[in-house]
Amino acid sequence: MKTAHSSDILQLWRDYRSEVLFGLVLVLINGASTYLSQFIDDYKFDVLFTPMFNIATSVVAISSAWLIFRHTEGIRLRRIWGYVLLAWGIGDLAYLICYLVAPLQVMNMGAEHLSVHELLIGNLLGWVMVLYPTETLRPGWLTPKTIAWQLLPMIALVFLDYIVPLNLWPLIALYPYALLVITLMHIRAYRVWCENNYSSMDNIDVQWIIRYCIMLLIIGANYVYICSGHGHARGFTQQWFVIFMLIYGTDQILFRKNPWQEQSDSSDFNGLSVEQSDSADGLADEASQSEYVRVLESWMEQQKPYLRQDFQLMDLREILPMNRTYLSQFINDSYGCTFYQFVNRYRIEEAKHLLRKSPERKLEDIADACGFSSRISFTRTFTQETGLSPREWGKGKK
């Protein structure tokens, strides 16, 4: 039990290490910024620390881009993030060169609130960070055209701020929040699509996207706060946030499994709605559908493909002559559940058999034998399906 408990803790650390580090960095950055600002005046910050931060950001961005491009593995999301990092690094280098050649003051640390230039820089950062979950939730949706449409309102607000005698900085500062809300609206469709195509959701955790967006909201709230105040503590805070989020995004992309990397074409997700089509075209008549059910259930019982952890919807094409859309619709219509739920029913029945046969067997071994990727995943799924933990269910069957 001690080993299992240690294994659970290790797994939780792997799943949440970035978020824990984020919380620690958030506290340390705000504390250090407030403390150091007492000893550094605006002039020293502009002359000494601003170039140092720009150099640090450029080094982090360009080195991270180099790392990403070395490990793209054909994943579009990684290429997009690599280009974002490269653009960010080159932009900071360009700013640094302009600053050294002809002093260019972009961050006026003594101002009562940020200028439209500063707001635009902050908005670009927020928009860049939203690209990551957007491409994850809607693979292939990001194109030059959609990117231009996203940037257009931001540019229009900055332009209006110049020509209209109104203070538009709150709208400018809050614009990335609107993009984030739009992104979050696609989470349910993403979850349903994943459940209709994969037998395991361990590496397709929607919660990490929510956690990532919460981090952006926290950073955005901090940004809006410093926009309305003054003092160069905000400079320390925001510069460190930039560096940390670039590192965090790189860590997420490199070390979280991308569900799309096994797909040769993710375009069939585009335009997908949560509701399946009412059309039965492609499923033939009722007699054929009943035959498909018989063939599928016979194959599942005899071959037991669900024991493989990498079992997915497209593997059904081995016995059923349908494309991805109709395979998903066939499972939904015939069994009233997603492919993920359909497979887990077989896995849970297999687990029950093993628990009855070998009640002393370790849960890790049972989980692995039934096709689950971890003990945590097995216990969670079993409890959801039966209302009891595996051990509780096993005791009741003695």
Q: Is there a single domain that holds both residue 237 and residue 161?
A: yes
Dihedral sign of CA atoms 211, 214, 218, 224 in order: positive
CA distances from 184 to 115, 181, 211 (A): 29, 5, 11
Residue 114 is predicted with a pLDDT of 57
Q: Is there a single domain that holds both residue 85 and residue 163?
A: yes
Q: Is there a single domain that holds both residue 81 and residue 222?
A: yes
Q: Is there a single domain that holds both residue 192 and residue 312?
A: no
Residue 263 is predicted with a pLDDT of 44
Is residue 271 domain-resident? Answer: no
Look up the domain containing 316 and give its range. 286-396
Is residue 124 domain-resident? Answer: yes
Alpha helices in 102-232 (DSSP H): 116-137, 144-163, 169-184, 187-195, 206-227
End-to-end Cα spacing for the chain = 21
Vertex 369, ends 363 and 373: CA angle to 5°? 75
Distance from C-alpha of 354 to C-alpha of 365, rounded to nearest angstrom: 10
Residue 16 is predicted with a pLDDT of 66
Is 96 in a helix, a strand, or coil?
A: helix
β-sheet bridge partners, residue 198: 312
Domain of 384: which CATH number? 1.10.10.60
Residue 289 is predicted with a pLDDT of 80
Is residue 1 domain-resident? Answer: no
Backbone phi and psi for residue 198, each to the nearest 5 degrees, phi listed first: -125, 150
Is 198 in a helix, a strand, or coil?
A: strand
Dihedral sign of CA atoms 252, 255, 257, 263 in order: positive
Query: Which residues are CB-contacts of 342 (< 8 A; sequence separation ≥ 6)?
Result: 331, 335
Measured from the Cβ of residue 352, the count of other Cβ atoms closer than 10 Å reads 19
The token pair that represents 156 in the structure block: 């229009």
Backbone phi and psi for residue 312, each to the nearest 5 degrees, phi listed first: -145, 170
Distance from C-alpha of 220 to C-alpha of 177, rounded to nearest angstrom: 8
Is residue 95 domain-resident? Answer: yes
Is residue 49 domain-resident? Answer: yes
Q: Is there a single domain that holds both residue 330 and residue 251?
A: no
Residue ranges in the chain whose pLDDT is less than 70? 1-19, 22, 37, 41-46, 102-122, 202-208, 222-236, 238, 256-287, 396-398
For residue range 264-314, what is the model confidence (pLDDT) as tens digits? Answer: 344 444 444 333 433 344 455 666 788 899 999 999 999 999 999 889 898
Query: Do residues 382 and 351 make contact, with C-beta atoms less than 8 angstroms apart?
Result: yes
* Domains contained in the chain, number: 2
Q: Is there a single domain that holds both residue 315 and residue 217?
A: no
Last residue of a domain, one of 238, 256, 274: 256
Q: Is there a single domain that holds both residue 217 and residue 78?
A: yes
Q: How many residues does the chain have?
A: 398
Distance from C-alpha of 139 to C-alpha of 71, rounded to nearest angstrom: 19
153: phi > 0 → left, psi -120 to 50 → alpha, else beta; which?
alpha
Is residue 37 domain-resident? Answer: yes
Q: Is there a single domain that holds both residue 142 and residue 201?
A: yes
The token pair that represents 293 in the structure block: 């059910």
Is residue 211 domain-resident? Answer: yes
Q: Is there a single domain that holds both residue 112 and residue 211?
A: yes
Is residue 136 domain-resident? Answer: yes
Q: Is there a single domain that holds both residue 237 and residue 313?
A: no
For residue range 22-59, what is the model confidence (pLDDT) as tens digits? Answer: 677 777 777 777 777 677 766 666 677 777 888 888 99
Measured from the Cβ of residue 294, the count of other Cβ atoms closer than 10 Å reads 10
Query: Which residues are CB-contacts of 113 (< 8 A; sequence separation ≥ 6)?
Result: 169, 227, 228, 229, 230
Q: Is there a single domain that holds both residue 217 and residue 308?
A: no
The token pair that represents 151 in the structure block: 């940037």
Q: Is there a single domain that holds both residue 115 and residue 59?
A: yes
Distance from C-alpha of 204 to C-alpha of 194, rounded to nearest angstrom: 7
Residue 298 is predicted with a pLDDT of 94
